[in-house]
Amino acid sequence: MAYFYDEPSRTFNEYLLVPGYSSEECIPTNVDLKTPLVKFKKGEQSSITLNSPLVSAIMQAVSGEKMAVALAKEGGVAFIYGSQSIEEQAAMVKRVKDNKAGFVVSDSNVGPDATLADILKLKEATNHSNVAVVENNKLIGLVTGRDYRVSRMSLDTKVREFMTPFKDLIYAKEGVTLKEANDIIWDNKLNTLPIVDNDQKLVAFVFRKDYDAHKDKPLSLMDQEKRYIVGAGINTRDYALRVPALIEAGCDVLCIDSSEGYSCWQANTIKYIKENFGADIKIGAGNVVDEEGFRFLADAGADFIKIGIGGGSICITRETKGIGRGQATAVIDVAKARDKYCEETGVYIPICSDGGIVHDYHMTLALAMGADFCMLGRYFSRFKESPTDRVIINGNYMKEYWGEGSSRARNWQRYDLGGDQKLNFEEGVDSYVPYAGSLHDGLPQTLYKIKSTMCNCGALSIKELQAKAKLTVVSSTSIVEGGAHDVLLKDSTFNNK
């Protein structure tokens, strides 16, 4: 006879945090959201520590190179999606690693025979006012907003006729430090400083406007060479070829992308990577929803473990296969298993809550229940930096968002059970989400909400939150009571989530 759990599995919506004592120190500015990303021994520190407890999902519609840079600037990590060719994924990772803090790799280049119309179209698409003019891989000029006037020029005018030629540019050579570059900018009253190599090839730009912006980003997550930390997703099929390419590109942490992690395929993948590339290569695994799954992946050597099956907003695994577990219950059970494992072995393995996040406060609940960090798909897909197109639906700006198990993504490797190399049926949908602007404008508000709630619980760190949090199950009636009710709402300019 099948095993039956005594209690129903519950979602985050079914819980509330009960306030605790808040001292004078309990103010959001005093809250520290640092949290370990990969495993470590008791008494030691994790080799990678997040400054914000959020990472972006391994999805085509979420984690591209722009998201990776933007999220690293806010203290989190993006996992570049693996449902693409090895070469394309490795190139994405390399472009992220080439973005040293303050050094911006140009994605707005034109040739000298491009026209003013091309410049204006590119500016509209990228919102960049500085365009590099490149010929035969060499920087031959630069176009800024001061180089043309639309009202006095024909749109057919060639770029070579109005660009600032290289001979008239002030530039710096590759190897210049950010401080030296900023000094050149200030001494010469520049807005833009091109960085070129010995062959006059454009390496990056340093912008005057970024000086203050970098001062305002103390959470930036960087390696010892001041390059942004970036992760990448892998599968259980081509890891022998994909992993060395990602390592060569500079990837900091890997994660197996799978709908279900309690399998020999994941154990084999982890074993191969550790034996062939060494323990310094960090790899997350999952997803699991109970102690057995956690213990299996922990014993296999996973550096962090993801929790959640079927809880994503675009995931229909529970509908199509009838398998999964309520996300809150899964996090609570796996957190207990993580703590038990740590007591037995002296090794702490961080756990990641993946899926089931609808409202911002659900992130705080996940952390209070024991998660070290959260992986988010829908949340990050809404921002400008996600790889998808912004479209207008019924007069509103939306972003496209689709699941890796959808026919659009066709990521059969994610659902691999050793059979045919194809997607036999869908486990994800194709959808739209409301556009939310830039990540830098939206994420800080979410983090402030987390900090504010932690203060209500009397906690100034995630570990303190987990030790002090008091959780209560709520009834369906109290859920209704928790929102606005029995009133006629006025239109609001605030985005209440």
Residues recognised as catalytic: 315, 414
Phi then psi for residue 121, to 5 deg, are -65, -40
Between CA 289 and CA 307 the distance in angstroms is 6
How far is the C-alpha of 323 from the C-alpha of 72, rounded, in Å?
Answer: 34
The pairing of beta strand 430-434 with beta strand 396-402: antiparallel
For 495, which DSSP code? -
Cβ atoms 460, 454 nearer than 8 A: yes
8 Å CB contact between 53 and 373: yes
Q: What angle do CA 445, 308, 388 make, to 5 degrees?
A: 55
Residue 382: count other Cβ atoms within 10 Å of its Cβ.
20
Q: Let me know if 263 is exposed, middle or buried by CB neighbors in 10 A (0-12, 13-18, 19+).
A: buried
CA distances from residue 227 to 154, 224, 336 in whole angstroms, order as listed:
42, 7, 35
Q: How far apart are CA 247 and CA 97, in angstroms?
A: 11
3-state secondary structure of 347: strand
CA distances, 338 to each of 236, 301, 363, 477 (Å): 24, 13, 19, 34
* Rounded distance between C-alpha atoms, residue 145 and residue 163, angstroms: 10
